[in-house]
Structure 1
Amino acid sequence: MNHSVRYGLILGALNVVFTAGVFLIDYKLIQNPLIGFLIFGITIAILFIAGFELRKKNGGYLSFKNALKSSFIIYAIAAVLVVMYNLLQYNVLTPEIAEELQKETLNQQVMVWESFGMSDEQIDESAAAMEDRNLFGLTWQLVGLAGNLFFGLIISLIVAAIVKKKEPEFD
C-alpha cells in the first residue's frame, strides 16, 4: 500500500476512534477546544512520523515537493474519513444530538456576537440565518472539509519544510 494512503488511513482511523470515544464519554465534549487541540496534536505527530519515515525510505533525502505531496495526501484522506464519520454519526445514528449541538453552537456564537458589540437586531438576523443551516448535513460538512483542507495545506507546507532534506549535488 502507498505510504501516504496507509498513513492517511491510520490518521483518519485514529481521529475517528478518538472522536467516537469522546462522543461515548460525553458528546458535549466534542465542542471543547481541548479536544480539538488533542486531535490537532495527533495529526501533527502522525504527519511528522510519516514524513521522517518517508525520508528514511528514500535514503535519508526527501524533496520539499514530495514531502508536501505526501503530507497533504495523508491529511486529506484523514479529513475525508472524519467527514464520513460525522455524516454517519449525526445524520444516521444520533440526529437528535446533532440538533442539540447545533443549538449549543448557536448559543456560543450569540455570545461572541454580543462581545463584538453587535446590535440585538443584527444578532437576531444572524441567528435566524444560522438556525436554517444544518451544520451536520452534507453541504456544511463539505464546506467545513474545504476549509479544513486549506488549513491542512498550510500544515503540510510547514511539515514539508521541516522534514525535507535535499540530496547533495556532488559527493
Structure 2
Amino acid sequence: MENQQTPVKAGLNAGLILGIVSVVLTFLIYFISPESLASFSTGMVILAIFLGALIFLGIQYRKSIGGFMDFGTGFKFAFIALIIAGLIGIVGNFLLYNVVDPELPGVLVEAQLETTMAMMERFGAADAMTPEQIDEIRNGAASNFTLVGQLKGFGFALIFYGIVALIVAAIIKKRDKSLDY
C-alpha cells in the first residue's frame, strides 16, 4: 500500500507554505507602502490570496490521497494549516514590528486612527468623540502590535480559522460515489 500523508502532516506542510507566503507578502507590502498594511482593501486581497492558496493546497492533498476526502479530513487539514500559518505570521510580524522597523506600529496606529475617524465622520459621529475617547482608540490599536496583543489576536483568530476551515473543508471534500449502494 502506498504511503499516504495524514491530514496533520499535510496541514503542517501547507501551513508552512502559507505562513511563509504570508510573511513574504507582508514584507513586500511593507517595502512598497507601509501604510497599506493598515488598509482594509489590502487585508481583503491578502485574505483572498490566502484562501485561494489554501483551497489549492487542499485539492492537491486530496489528489495525493486518492482523489477523495471526507469533510472531517478536510477540516483537520485546513485548520492545522491555518494555525501553523498564523503562528508563522506572528513571528514575521514580531520581527517586522520590533527588529526591522520599530517605528512602524506608530505609523500603522495613526493610519488606523485616520481611517476610523473618517468612517465616524461619514456616520456623523466624529464630532461626538472626546480627546480621551480618541486616545483610548489609539492605545487600543497600539496594543495590537505588541507580542501580547499579537498572541491575544491569535486567540480570537482561532475562531475565525475554525470558520474558514469549515468553509474550505466543504469546498475540498469529495465523496467516492462508487461506494454508494
Query: So what's the TM-score if we normalise by structure 2?
Result: 0.83
In structure 2, runs of 5+ residues without a counterpart are none
Cα distance in structure 2, aligned partners of 1:144 and 1:115: 28
Aligned match of 1:49: 56
1:15-164 pair list within 5 angstroms: 15-118=22-125, 120-133=127-140, 134=142, 135-164=144-173
C-alpha deviations, 1:105-136, integer Å up to 9, x for none? 11221222333333645453432212334221
Q: CA deviation at 1:67?
A: 0.1
Q: Percent identity?
A: 32
Cα distance in structure 2, aligned partners of 1:109 and 1:144: 19
Q: What's the RMSD between the two structures over aligned residues?
A: 2.1
In the alignment, residue 72 of structure 1 is paired with which amino acid? F
Conserved? CA contact 2:117–2:126, under 8 Å: no
Query: So what's the TM-score if we normalise by structure 1?
Result: 0.87
Cα distance in structure 2, aligned partners of 1:53 and 1:86: 29
In the alignment, residue 165 of structure 2 is paired with which amino acid? S
In the alignment, residue 96 of structure 1 is paired with which amino acid? E
Question: Structure 1 stretch 127-136 or stretch 56-65: which is displaced more?
Answer: 127-136
Conserved? CA contact 1:67–1:164, under 8 Å: yes
Cα distance in structure 1, aligned partners of 2:63 and 2:100: 42
In structure 1, runs of 5+ residues without a counterpart are none
